[in-house]
């Protein structure tokens, strides 16, 4: 399995769910998340031949820079930062503990970038639980990571938004899934499906 297959699956998941992500963002944001994620995914797909010739680390960093350049709003820097950080932190041979450690560094980078923390209805509420599952290891790890990502994104509907645009809505944001969390769950789920 090449990293290109994972990239293709993850970006296609975002493209296929762009309308869903837009609807989620219309409820608690400015309604452009799905379009922005689709734009970034298409920009990455346009570079697939180039990305295939790169190491995973270099491909992650290149994709992060593409996100920063092509995705509007806060999503570009957010998704770009996590990709660049993973590209810098992952070793050549990756095990679950290595991925968990790199994700922890990425979570800290996002916390510095957006002043957000776990529990504030952001994609950190998917990344941190997934990191903990990876850290725990054990059998059926890929299936447990996939399930954790989807369940964690769905659970953001019950979290009060205290960061980002949704925080302006107060209690009206309750009952709505965070679009960034759903995007992250789609990415993680698509990668899991390729493994």
Residue by residue, what is the 3-state secondary structure of 36-75? HHHHHHHHHHCCHHHHHCCCHHHHHHHHHHHHHHHCCCCH
First to last CA, the chain: 8
Q: Is the pLDDT of residue 61 over 90?
A: yes
Task: Say which range, 53-57, 69-73, 98-102, 124-128, has the weakest mean pLDDT.
Answer: 69-73
Q: What is residue 50's predicted lDDT score, i.e. its pLDDT?
A: 97
Domain of residue 154 covers 3-194
Q: Are the CB atoms for 15 and 47 separated by under 8 Å?
A: no
Task: Residue 55: give its domain's CATH number.
Answer: 1.25.40.340
If one counts the domains in the chain, the total is: 1
Residue 164 confidence (pLDDT) above 80: no
Structure pTM?
Answer: 0.94
Q: For 127-139, how does the pLDDT look when each residue is reduced to its tens digit (9 = 90+)?
A: 999 999 999 999 9
pLDDT of residue 92: 86
């Amino acid at each position: 399995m090449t990293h290109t297959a994972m990239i293709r699956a993850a970006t296609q998941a975002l493209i296929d769910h762009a309308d869903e992500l837009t609807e989620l963002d219309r409820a608690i944001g400015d309604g452009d998340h799905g379009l922005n994620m689709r734009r970034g995914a298409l920009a990455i797909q346009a570079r697939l031949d180039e990305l295939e010739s790169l190491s995973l680390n270099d491909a992650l960093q290149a994709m992060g820079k593409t996100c920063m350049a092509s995705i509007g709003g806060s999503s570009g820097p957010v998704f770009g930062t996590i990709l660049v950080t993973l590209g810098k932190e992952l070793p050549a041979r990756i095990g679950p503990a290595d991925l968990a450690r790199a994700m922890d560094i990425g979570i800290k980078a996002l916390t510095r970038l957006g002043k957000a923390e776990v529990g504030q209805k952001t994609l950190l509420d998917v990344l941190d639980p997934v990191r903990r599952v990876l850290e725990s290891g054990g059998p059926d790890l890929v299936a447990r990571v996939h399930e954790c990502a989807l369940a964690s994104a769905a659970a953001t509907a019950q979290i009060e938004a205290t960061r980002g645009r949704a925080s302006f809505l107060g209690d009206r944001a309750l009952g709505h899934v965070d679009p960034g969390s759903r995007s992250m769950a789609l990415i993680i789920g698509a990668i899991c499906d390729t493994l």
